[in-house]
Amino acid sequence: MRKLFFTLLPLAFITFSFPGIAQPGAFRPPLLDCGQQGDAQMICGTRAPEDFEVTPDGRFLIVAKYGQGDDSPLDLFDLATQEFTAISLSSEPLSGWGESACTESIGDQVSPHGLSLSQRSTGEWQFYVVNHNVRESMEMYELLPEGDSWKLVWHGCVMADVPYNDVAANPDGSFVATRPTAFLAEGDNVFSGEATGNVAQWNATDGESVLPGTEIGYPNGVLISSDGRYAYISGWTTSDYHKYDLTTQQEVKQVDLGFMPDNLTWTPNGKILAAGIKGIDGNCPQESDFPCLQGFEVVQLDPDTSAITRVFDSKGRALINGTSVAIEVGGNVYVGSFQGERLVKFSR
């Protein structure tokens, strides 16, 4: 059994055994050079771009740089110039944003994971960030214009008893968030196929509550339908996708994807993109020495019918390691990861 080390759970390194992946120190084909490589372009110059959101003007990606580093935790990626710059962070506590007990920002110490950008019913662009540094929390910002760019102003937070992974915010300020390790004990095999976590919802009146029937193998990405009726959830270690009725509080659809879906994003035409690692369950091509973390797939899901459309397959090429997100903007798809220093861009 071969082993690979990487960060999956916040604030800790965990060792997993993966069939078909080279041991640390063994030969690994290097990632392809930055720049155009056939039908894909590698854009370098970032760090662990785990999740993305598109700014309201469609000109930038907001990039969550997973884990802790010496540079900015959140970047703006200019889609025209393909340059990364730190987004401005400031603090102005406001009532109606999170818990009343959360009155202080942690500034640039935020260690971002999942993101959610949406418009409140009162018009503000709310930007929620899953955080794993200083405190386990949901940090809540308002996205505001700053010249020809954007800035983030912190307004509040919600403390997390169990670490969150991804979040989907509602117009009233409430949210739904995945909790992939809610009942994962030390020594448990996260890839056993058993449920390791669940999904919770939070609102200012009732606080946090677990959604019944959301016990999934490493619940990861989450979205909410525009009418607030359904949550769409990815099961990372079970390689599947779930549609959950928030009104009746029960799962209504489950689809096997054949790869490990991470974050979920909306397309401009109201479909869902799911992206993730393929082959990590031992199904790496026998003729390939590529570590499975380098293989990835992107699919489109219809939120109504759950029909799947294949969008991109890396086909064993070493484009990026640890794929975690794909987002469509301007006719292109941008792929990020929970490790490394690059994005992948391809035309839709």
Q: Which two tokens stand for residue 162?
A: 């169990």
Domain positions in the chain are 3-347
Q: What is the pLDDT of residues 263-291, one digit of tens each?
A: 999 999 999 999 999 865 444 554 444 45
pLDDT over 70 for what percent of the chain? 87
pLDDT at 19 over 60: no
Give the residue from 339, 306, 341 showing the smallest Cα distance to 324. 339
How many other CB atoms are found less than 10 A from the CB of residue 1?
A: 7
Provide the CA 249 distance to its chain's centre, in angstroms. 23
Cα separation, 142 vs 144, whole angstroms? 6
Cα–Cα distance measured from residue 272 to residue 60, given in angstroms and rounded to the nearest whole number: 20
Asked if residue 160 has pLDDT above 60, the reply is yes
Buried b (16+ CB within 10 A) or exposed e, 155-168: bbbbebebbbbbbb
Structure tokens at 342: 């690059």
Phi, psi of 298 (to 5 degrees): -130, 130
Give the DSSP H or E segment for 291: none
The counts of H helices and E strands in the chain are 0, 28
Of 9-18, 115-124, 195-204, 295-304, which gets the smallest average pLDDT? 9-18
pLDDT of residue 144: 98
Choose which CATH entry (1.20.1250.20, 2.120.10.30, 3.20.20.60, 2.30.31.70) describes domain 3-347: 2.120.10.30
Residue bearing the bigger pLDDT, 72 or 1: 72
d(CA 153, CA 267): 26
Q: In what order do the strands lie in the sheet with 308-313?
A: 260-266, 272-277, 296-301, 308-313
3-state class (DSSP) for residue 109: helix
**CB 184: neighbour CB atoms within 10 A?**
19
Positive or negative torsion for Cα 163, 299, 341, 73 = negative
Task: Identify the pLDDT of residue 291.
Answer: 52
pLDDT of res. 133: 96
- Could you read off the pLDDT of 112-149 as tens digits, one per residue? 999 999 999 999 999 999 999 999 999 999 999 999 99
Bridge partners for 137 per DSSP: 131, 159
